[in-house]
Amino acid sequence: MTAVIWTPPIWYAIAFLVVGVLLYTIIAAMLGSVVSRMDQVQQAISPLIIMGTLSYMGGFVLMSHADIPILRILSYVPLFSQIMLPVRFANGDISAMAAGLGLGLAIVALVGLTYLALIIYRMNVLVYSDSGVLKSFMRSFTLLKAEKK
């Protein structure tokens, strides 16, 4: 019984779960670091929630219609691959090598976004302003460019 449960799709699903949770957590922390008031948190996190919801819905569509080209391409994009690639692998639409490629891309994105989140957090840790979330986020990048010069 246990040999049937622990198949490669399950291992890939667990790996994608861990990487996906870390990826979404890092992005949420990065977006949360640009807000200075509690009422701005929802505004900052909304795009991330929408992307997660679209990924979830795409996974359901891929279970029955695996031939949609845009979903096949999106299944390799790191914020969408955590749900879509395990579904495609469990259905037999892709090989273990393709699932490993998607997992590798997600890990690379995780490392890159962690570095970016550290920079943005460092730029915004003691900055309190009443400007919007987008203005605070853009200010972080202008401060970063000014620091590099």
Q: 45-55: per-residue pLDDT in tens? A: 888 899 999 99
Higher per-residue confidence, 111 vs 146:
111
**Residue found under tokens 């979330």:** 133
At 104, is the pLDDT very low, low, confident or very high (cuts 50, 70, 90)?
very high
User: Residue 40 contacts by C-beta under 8 Å, 6 or more apart in sequence?
Assistant: 132, 133
Q: What is the pLDDT of residue 25?
A: 94
Claim: this prediction has a pTM higher than 0.85:
no
User: Residue 36 contacts by C-beta under 8 Å, 6 or more apart in sequence?
Assistant: 127, 128, 129, 130, 136
Q: 39-80: per-residue pLDDT in tens? A: 778 888 888 899 999 999 988 888 888 888 888 898 899 999
Distance of CA 137 to the CA centre of its chain: 18
Element (H or E) spanning 95, and its range?
Answer: none
